[in-house]
Amino acid sequence: MFAGPIFTREAVVSPRRPRLFVMRGVYGTALLILISTAWMIIAGTQVVRNISDMARFGAILFQILVPLQMALLMFMSAIQAASNVSVEKDRQTLVLLLMTRMSNTELVLGKLFSALLSVGSLLLTSAPILMLVVLFGGTSFQQVGWSLAVTLTTCLLAGSLGTMIGYWREKTFQSLALVLLVIAIWVGSWEGLSQTGISVGGISAERIAQAMSPIQAILSASRPTIVESWQTDVVPYLVSSLALALIVIGIAIARVRVWNPNREARPRQQEAEFSSVNIYGEVAAGKESESQTAPTLTQLVNRKSRPVWNNPILWREMMTWAYGKKILFIRLAYWLAAFAVMAALYWAVTSGVATRATRATTVTVPLVAQALAPLMLVSLVILTALAVSSITTERDGKAIDLLMVTDISPKEFLFGKLLGVLYLGTDLILLPLLMCGYLWWNQALSTENFLFVVLGMLILNIFVAALGIHCGMSYASTRTAISVSLGTVFFLFLGVVTCMVMLVSFTGNLEAQLAPFLACIVGGAVGLYVALGWQNPSPALALASMILPFAMFYTITSMLLGHFASVIIVVAFTYGFATTAMLVPRLTEFRISTGRSKTGEAE
């Protein structure tokens, strides 16, 4: 095929895997459940009198489903594309691919379209379901078509970015973190530009952001006015996203063999020329011992060693470059994103918008939260990626077996990894909290709510770190571990956003909406148990999977009603219990899946 043997193999093998059909079935069922839930909300709280009420329902529902799908598939495309390449590097099989007759184009396009194959199947699954929404009225087939086109080009651009970064960076965590930060900075920059109100060359900032930002483009495509304004509202974004995707793909094709194998995989010339040393300390192979740069046996023995702590796992995580020296580049990118958010908060505080948004009773989500919440979500996702990579890197590097035969206890291994992840993620944890402290200092956040935010974020950071380690130890496949851990984080937090939007959009009665959301809650509980407890089932994980969706629904309604104390109590109990359920079984024995068990149980 046009993309080479890599994509050909994936296209032939994927339809034979039950996972592809399970994903399509679950995704389609989830969309239908959301539609049914929205209908139950409006039918249970309002009287549908005429066709206009049905059309209003269809328009609002479509504008909820389409942005949610685009955000989910965009991150899924980027993460899968980056992990597909990074896994080859971790297993040291990318060098074998580079030694074949495949061209650079086949290497890049093969990995790109292999990652987008499952994303494309999910997008095709959603097409007939979105067309069913047209039957309610208020939505046209043109809206469906343009929305799918925007989503498709966004996924292509995100997948191209993930593939390029995957070939560029040498570590899995570097690739995942960098691609998430680039997407966040890209989207956030254009969203911030749209709020400035400036003009560039006679073109308004809103129009520029609409041509470059996927969020603005999908919002425009989901509006009924797109039937008349598609030339100016959607086509510019489609052209710009396709052009950027071609540029990114071109860079990857041109540089793939320059970047790989990376410098860490290339033996240095000096090390390659080291000769054996005889008993007299003379360098063999006919070279003079005094004039050579190769170290003698005495020099090797007398070289000063570094002291190791009682827990060598924690020492390695904190005192060595276990994730590569380019992690400093990741931190720099995160600091740039945090600086942009801080600038937005500073403007909100100095202009008085932050205080008005906090005190106003008609504002559901304060403006400062709209700027700070995406950074918090990015921090949690990157911390999860760091945690799961801390385990998968050890397994792909064939170091797990060596660790299991040493005198390192499971408790030392587990807490060494967990504390090491939290230490390396200090920036991810502290910067959002310092911004909350800035809002509290300027009286844009009350003391009580500031303490609630700090406690809640600390609990969530520990939870996502434990989740990444749990998934990394439970799944033998690196790609599966990454997908399950990051997918769980997106499910919990994007699910919260979707639930909030549906509650606010369709009804004002928040206390009597448990019944319409019951199907979503039960389905979420089943999905959580499959993700967390399928490989290592336990009653504690089953209970945690069952109570988490109910607790999240309670926290959403309580937060919208202003009962913040009950929110933090429920969050502390549920996520604390889930964290304990994931960690406690691993304190007494090594429950790490190595992929060699035919029964599928952890070894």
Would residue 519 count as lying in a domain? yes
Domain membership flag for residue 294: no
- The domain boundary, picked from 233, 265, 297, lies at 265
Q: Are residues 257 and 328 in the same domain?
A: no
pLDDT of 74-127, one tens digit each?
A: 999 999 999 889 888 888 888 888 888 888 999 999 999 998 998 999 999 999
Domain boundary residue, one of 265, 292, 320: 265
Number of domains composing the chain: 2
Residues 231 and 326 in one domain: no
User: Within the chain, what is the greatest distance between any pair of CA atoms?
Assistant: 100
258 and 338 inside one domain: no
Strands 199-200, 203-204: parallel, antiparallel or unpaired by DSSP? antiparallel
Domain membership of residue 575 (yes or no) is yes
Rounded to an integer, what distance in angstroms lies between the CA atom of residue 213 and that of residue 207? 10
Domain C-terminal end among 230, 265, 300: 265
Q: Confirm whether 327 is domain-assigned.
A: yes
Contact 378, 464 (CB under 8 A): no
Q: Encoding tokens for residue 143?
A: 């809206």
Percent of the chain with pLDDT over 90: 22
Residue 247, pLDDT score: 95
Q: How far is CA 202 from the centre of its chain?
A: 37
Parent domain of 254: 5-265
pLDDT of 302-359, one tens digit each? 566 677 788 888 888 888 887 777 788 888 889 988 898 888 888 888 877 766 644 4
Q: Which residues pair with 277 in a beta bridge?
A: 283
Q: Note whether 24 and 96 are same-domain residues.
A: yes
CA–CA distance, 565 with 568 (Å, rounded to integer): 5
DSSP label at 295? P
Q: Where do runs of H (alpha helix) occur along 475-538?
A: 478-506, 518-533
Phi then psi for residue 538, to 5 deg, are: -155, 150
Inter-CA distances, 339 with 30, 79, 184, 213, 333, Å: 37, 24, 13, 20, 10
Output the pTM of the full model.
0.84
Say if residue 34's pLDDT is above 70.
yes
Confidence band, pLDDT 50/70/90 cuts, at residue 281: very low
Is residue 83 located within the same domain as residue 214?
yes
